[in-house]
Amino acid sequence: MISAIDRPLRKLGRGLLDFALPPRCAGCAEIISEVDGFCAGCWAQLLWLGESGCTCCGIPLEATEAALCGRCIAQPPPIERMRAAVAYGEVPRVIALKLKYGRKIALARTMARYMAPLFDPSGAASVIVPVPLHRWRLWSRGFNQSGLVARELGRRWNLPVEQQLLLRRKRTLPLKGMNYQQRRAAVAGAFGVAPSRRLDGQRIILIDDVLTSGSTAEACARTLRKAGAERVELICWARVVRPAMLMR
C-alpha cells in the first residue's frame, strides 16, 4: 500500500526518471537530443501543412489563385476552418496508431506540440472539445486518444477542455470504401451534446487525430451548431490529402 508520505516521493521518482531517460524520436524511437521531436530521417518524411491550402477546409489547392476550394464555395461546410499539422503518411500513421493502440500516451504531447501553432488562442473565448468515442470503445480502450491530445492543447492554449460535452450516441461502421453521401448517412445522428447543455455564442475547437473524409468531424460540427455554437474549427494531427487514399 502506498502511504501519503510515499506518494510525493514516487512522483519525484517519476520526474527523475523522465529526466534520466534520453528523449526518443516519436516516429522510430531512435534517441534524439530534443523532447517531443523527430530524428532527421523521420523529419524528412513529414509534410507540414501549416496555413496552406483552402482557407476553409485546408485541402491543398493546385494551380489556382483562389482562396477557397470548389467544394467549400459550392457547399460551405459546417466547420469554418480546418487545419492539420501534417499530411497523412507512414510516420504520422505510426504515431497515431502507437497512441491509440500502443498506449504511448506521451505521443499526445508530441502531436499537441505541432498542432498548437495552428490556432491563435488570443481571440474570442473558446472551448476545446475532442471528437468522442462511443462509450463501449472508451471502456475497452480506457482512453480517448483525441481527448489526450485535447488535454495537452488545453495546457498550451490555456483554454478549457470539455471531454464530456460531445457524446457519441451510436457506434458507426468503418467509413472506408463509402462515398460522400454514404459516409454522411452513416454518421447522421451519431453525435449528441450533453443533456441540458446550450452552446449559444460559443466557439468550439474540435480536436481529432486523423482526418480522412471529414464526414465524422462535420457530423460533430453540425451537432454543435444545432446546440447553438457560433463557430466550429477543427484542428487535427494528420489529414489525408490524396483523394486516392480515401478509397482504401
Chain residues that interact with Zn ion, rule: CB under 5 A: 25, 27-28, 30, 39, 42, 54, 56-57, 69, 72
Minimum distance of Zn ion from residue 184's CB (angstroms): 16
Our CB check for Zn ion shows the closer of 26 and 207 to be 26
Q: Which residues pair with 129 in a beta bridge?
A: 206
Nearer to Zn ion, 42 or 161 (CB): 42
- Cell 491550402 -> residue: 53
12 or 245: whose CB is closer to Zn ion?
245
Taking the complex as a whole, the smallest distance from the CB of residue 150 to Zn ion amounts, in Å, to 24
CB of 44 to Zn ion, least distance (A): 10
Nearest residue (CB) to Zn ion, 193 versus 218 = 218
Q: Which residues contact 126 (CB under 8 A, 6 or more apart)?
A: 159, 202, 203, 204, 205
- CB-nearer residue toward Zn ion: 108 or 193: 108
239-244 contact pairs (CB < 8 A, 24+):
239/49, 239/58, 239/82, 239/84, 239/86, 239/87, 239/88, 239/210, 239/211, 239/212, 240/87, 240/88, 240/210, 240/211, 240/212, 240/213, 241/49, 241/59, 241/60, 241/87, 241/88
Secondary structure (3-state) at 57: coil
Rg (CA), the chain: 19
| Smallest gap from residue 163 Cβ to Zn ion (A) | 29
Output the smallest distance, CB 130 to Zn ion, in A: 23
Contact yes or no for 235/114 (Cβ under 8 A): no
What's at 12, amino acid-wise? L
